[in-house]
Amino acid sequence: FEGEEKYLKREALQKLKAELISGNEDFNYQLLTPTSYTGREILELACQLPFNNRWQLLVVEEADRLTLKDEKIIMDYLKNPVNSTCLVLVGERFNPQSRLYKFFKEKDKLVIFYLLREM
């Protein structure tokens, strides 16, 4: 999820969470940031299986601030992701030249939230 419209991003994440996580939120939902978790730690969480649920949802906020090293670790994971993990990378402005941005754009998995404007 990319863009400056925080309200719509938050709404989309809440809908996604409601759809995927039917219970055991403490075990199957994680809100992460690159300042608190390394790419390796995010990878380890992404490789875990959900607890008593079909899905686990990992949301990495400020993902546009990932280091190149952490971005590479996540890119390697995305080549063969765990089917029961929904990994959402959230940021205001990703570098369009980054491998992550190009990957999501190529897979048509990039959702952009533009600022709402009055007409």
Task: Answer whether residue 10 is part of any domain.
Answer: no
**Contacts with 97 (C-beta within 8 Å, 6 or more apart), sequence order:** none
Helix axes 39-46, 68-78, angle to 10 degrees: 20
Q: Is the pLDDT of residue 77 over 80?
A: yes
Mean pLDDT of 8-23: 89
Domain of residue 40: give its range: 22-86
The pLDDT value recorded for residue 105 is: 85
The 10s digit of each residue's pLDDT in 100-117 is 888 888 888 878 888 877
Task: Answer whether residue 60 is part of any domain.
Answer: yes
Task: Answer whether residue 38 is part of any domain.
Answer: yes
Task: Answer whether residue 57 is part of any domain.
Answer: yes
Better pLDDT: 72 or 22: 72
Mean pLDDT of 38-66: 93
Better pLDDT: 5 or 32: 32
The CATH number for 79's domain is 3.40.50.300
- Tokens of residue 6, six digits: 């925080």
Number of domains in the chain: 1
CA angle 81, 4, 119 (to 5 degrees): 130
